[in-house]
Amino acid sequence: MNIVAQVFAGVAAALHVLVFAWEALLFRRPAVHWGVFRIRSEDVPAVLLWSFGQGFYNLFLAAGTVIGLIAVNTGQTEAGRALVYYTCGFMILSSLVLLVSDRMALGREKGAGLGGVAAQALPPIGALLAVAIAG
């Protein structure tokens, strides 16, 4: 796996760790639940369970990517590549779900979630494209 693909995959993992922190650890803070996710303070108790679980889902995706990158660089190339490809593919598919939910205006106005879609989709797309272009 080339270095460009590894950097994009690493960025994707780092973003998922950041989102884990927002969703699972810091969600009760207004700067996070309102500033990042546009969830009103009075609605936080109703969505906290989902936010907490979603945060760990993001952490596990990041962990899979990091473990794959470590494997690629420590002689377990095939297993590492498979893990990175799978987690990047998973991230891309999840971004499509975010896009659909944005288009359906689920939870907020249409268009408000496009930044999250781009943040989730572009780094893993970059990783897989770098692999494909390098052949």
What is the per-residue pLDDT across 22-75, written as a single tens digit (0 to 9) for each?
Answer: 999 999 999 999 999 999 999 999 999 999 999 999 999 999 999 999 999 999
pLDDT(108) > 90: no
Contacts of 107 (CB under 8 A, 6+ apart): 101
Give the span between the Cα atoms of 8 and 6, in whole angstroms: 6
Question: Which conformational region is residue 75 in: left (phi greater than 0), alpha (psi within -120 to 50 degrees), or beta?
Answer: left
**Whole-number pLDDT of residue 135:** 72
pTM over 0.85: yes
What one-character-per-residue DSSP string does 10-54 give? HHHHHHHHHHHIIIIISTTSHHHHTTTT---GGGHHHHHHHHHHH
